[in-house]
């Protein structure tokens, strides 16, 4: 077994070199790459990714990896997790040659380039052809997988959240609609008036940059192993054990947008920075699912970042950096404004309450696209109709409508993980509350204590357990939306005096 382990580890070490370079290129592509060079940059990244792919397609690597899987019960916990990961990947890629994989990458790269152009021109027609190509590529990919789910969309969901099915999501989102739609209507009719006049006051980029830096420091982001910059669509990229980068975007008339995007991305980064060293040693550092990741980012963004205790903690520094914005605003007014419920068109700017509807809309459209029950020409109209149905608003153009997200340039099945993340963290916050007074720790800025609990309970086993095993291990319960819905009902009924 030692011989097989050595071959696998040596190969994966070489794979990591290529993948690290790919991450550097794609990070550059989404931050400072000149527009005219974006497609070429993507082609170089696709080439390097394909070189890495070739390494795991050799007969010697496959034989060694499958031997480890056959004898997985004889391995350590970390090596067993690696063997199981490699076996899952092998079944997915067994029939996909390096040439096919490279061709798939080029499809997604072209889609990103065309989406960027379409978004700039606010014209979905410029992206429609690429979106069709992405869908066909996804279907082809799934058709070549061994033991794929009978439903193409369920298989794609499983790429981001192992074991998840559309039947489960229909149940979870059905519960969300049943409880949240009537509550949203009550909130909209509430006589409670939240002050909002200061939300559109101008804040300079430099002040927002300083605020982002401060927030990262408060949350104990490790700057010796990370950095931050700006991009069009904020994201986090884990380039390696000691290089986890976050991004944000500054809007002159929305000072708070960069605040909450940097808190959100910091949550992702903390998940990577605080995971066990053994994950990197055993090549399983990316096995955590996207819903696990989103549970953490949204825990920091919403459950902490929008709490009264956190607003109180950062209030003085915020007023200092944004005197023209917050000079006449109290801490209570800032808290209420940061929790304002107001249907908006842009998902990334949505309030905590209405955010779930943005996800449901995308989920319903994704199913239709993969199942072939909607044409490209119909999509913008359907998107607009669903926004009117769920949120009572309609996009004025494609840029603020169907072209706002980059996700469909590389796949489908990702969006539901944002909502699942809210459900997961609502469950483990109940466990956390049994062991500490979270509001008290936040108010005191003791994020070493909070992050330590997260590392011990949420981060530690994420790469070694399935989502079902992971949440069961933390809370003793299986995933359900009830805790999240209870939290929303309690918080917003109090805020809006219902």
Residue 372 reports pLDDT greater than 90? yes
How far apart (Å, rounded) are the C-alpha atoms in residues 358 and 339? Answer: 17
First to last CA, the chain: 64
Q: What is the mean pLDDT of residues 298-307?
A: 98
Q: What is the mean pLDDT of residues 92-118?
A: 94
How far apart (Å, rounded) are the C-alpha atoms in residues 91 and 147? Answer: 7
Percent pLDDT > 70 in the chain is 100
For residue 227, what are the β-bridge partners?
245
DSSP state of 405: -
pLDDT value at residue 114: 96
Residue 415 reports pLDDT greater than 90? yes
How far apart (Å, rounded) are the C-alpha atoms in residues 55 and 438? Answer: 47
pLDDT value at residue 232: 84
User: What is this structure's pTM?
Assistant: 0.93
How far apart (Å, rounded) are the C-alpha atoms in residues 76 and 8? Answer: 15
- What are the tokens at 124? 């979905």
Residue 190 reports pLDDT greater than 90? yes
The angle at the Cα of 362, spanning 358 to 367, to the nearest 5 degrees, equals: 150
Q: Looking up tokens 């011989």, which residue turns up? A: 3
Please report which confidence band the pLDDT of residue 18 belongs to, taking 50, 70 and 90 as the band edges: very high
Q: Residues 19, 84, 155, 265: which is the catalytic one?
A: 265
Using a 10 angstrom Cβ sphere, with 0-12 exposed, 13-18 middle and 19 or more buried, the burial of residue 231 is middle
Residue 266 reports pLDDT greater than 90? yes
Task: Determine whether 265 is an active site residue.
Answer: yes
Q: What is the mean pLDDT of residues 80-97?
A: 95
pLDDT value at residue 348: 83
How far apart (Å, rounded) are the C-alpha atoms in residues 32 and 38? Answer: 10
- CB-based contacts of 94, cutoff 8 Å, min separation 6: 145, 146
pLDDT value at residue 466: 95
425-476 residue pLDDT tens: 999 999 999 999 999 999 999 999 999 999 999 999 999 999 999 999 999 9
The mean pLDDT value of the chain amounts to 96
Q: What is the mean pLDDT of residues 57-67?
A: 97
How far apart (Å, rounded) are the C-alpha atoms in residues 472 and 466? Answer: 10
- Per-residue burial over 256-295, b = 16 or more CB atoms within 10 Å of its CB, e = otherwise: bbbbbbbbbbbbbbbbbbbbbebbbebbbbebbbbbbbbb
Please report which confidence band the pLDDT of residue 28 belongs to, taking 50, 70 and 90 as the band edges: very high
Q: Where in the chain is the domain with CATH 1.10.1370.30?
A: 166-495
CATH architecture for residues 166-495: Orthogonal Bundle (1.10)
């Amino acid at each position: 077994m030692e011989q097989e382990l050595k071959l696998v580890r040596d190969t994966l070490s070489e794979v990591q070199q290529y993948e690290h370079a790919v991450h550097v290129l794609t990070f550059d592509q989404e931050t400072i790459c000149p527009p005219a060079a974006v497609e070429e940059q993507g082609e170089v990244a696709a080439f390097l990714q394909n070189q890495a792919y070739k390494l795991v397609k050799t007969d010697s690597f496959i034989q060694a990896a499958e031997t480890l899987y056959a004898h997985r019960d004889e391995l350590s916990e970390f090596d067993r997790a690696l063997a199981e990961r490699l076996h899952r990947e092998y079944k997915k890629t067994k029939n996909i040659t390096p040439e096919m994989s490279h061709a798939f990458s080029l499809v997604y790269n072209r889609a990103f380039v065309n989406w960027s152009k379409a978004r700039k021109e606010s014209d979905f027609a410029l992206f429609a052809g690429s979106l069709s190509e992405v869908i066909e590529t996804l279907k082809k990919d799934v058709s070549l997988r061994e033991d794929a789910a009978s439903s193409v969309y369920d298989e794609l969901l499983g790429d981001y959240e192992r074991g998840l099915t559309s039947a489960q999501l229909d149940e979870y989102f059905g519960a969300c609609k049943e409880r949240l739609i009537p509550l949203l209507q009550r909130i909209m009719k509430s006589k409670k008036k939240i002050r909002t006049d200061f939300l559109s006051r101008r804040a300079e980029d430099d002040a927002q940059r300083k605020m982002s830096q401060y927030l990262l420091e408060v949350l104990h982001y490790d700057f010796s192993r990370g950095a931050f910059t700006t991009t069009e669509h904020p994201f986090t990229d884990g380039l390696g054990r000691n290089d986890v980068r976050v991004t944000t975007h500054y809007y002159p008339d929305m000072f708070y947008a960069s605040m909450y995007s940097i808190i959100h991305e910091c949550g992702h980064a903390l998940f990577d920075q605080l995971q066990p060293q053994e994950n990197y040693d055993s090549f399983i550092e990316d096995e955590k699912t996207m819903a696990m990741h989103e549970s953490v980012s949204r825990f920091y963004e919403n459950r902490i970042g929008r709490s009264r205790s956190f607003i109180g903690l950062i209030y003085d520094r915020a007023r200092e950096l944004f005197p023209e914005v917050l000079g006449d605003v109290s801490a209570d007014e800032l808290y209420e404004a940061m929790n304002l419920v107001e249907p908006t068109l842009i998902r990334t700017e949505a309030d905590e309450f209405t955010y779930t509807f943005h996800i449901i809309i995308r989920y319903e459209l994704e199913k239709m696209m993969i199942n072939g029950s909607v044409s490209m020409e119909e999509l913008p109209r359907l998107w607009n109709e669903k926004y009117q149905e769920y949120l009572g608003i309609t996009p004025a153009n494609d840029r603020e409508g169907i072209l706002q997200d980059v996700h469909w340039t590389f796949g489908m099945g990702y969006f539901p993980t944002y909502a699942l993340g809210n459900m997961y963290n609502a469950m483990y916050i109940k466990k956390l509350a049994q062991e500490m007074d979270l509001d008290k720790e936040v108010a005191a800025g003791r994020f070493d204590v909070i992050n330590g609990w997260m590392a011990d309970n949420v981060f530690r086993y994420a790469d070694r357990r399935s989502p079902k095993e992971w949440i069961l291990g933390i809370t003793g319960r299986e995933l359900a939306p009830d805790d999240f819905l209870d939290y929303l009902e309690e918080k917003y009924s109090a805020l809006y005096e219902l």
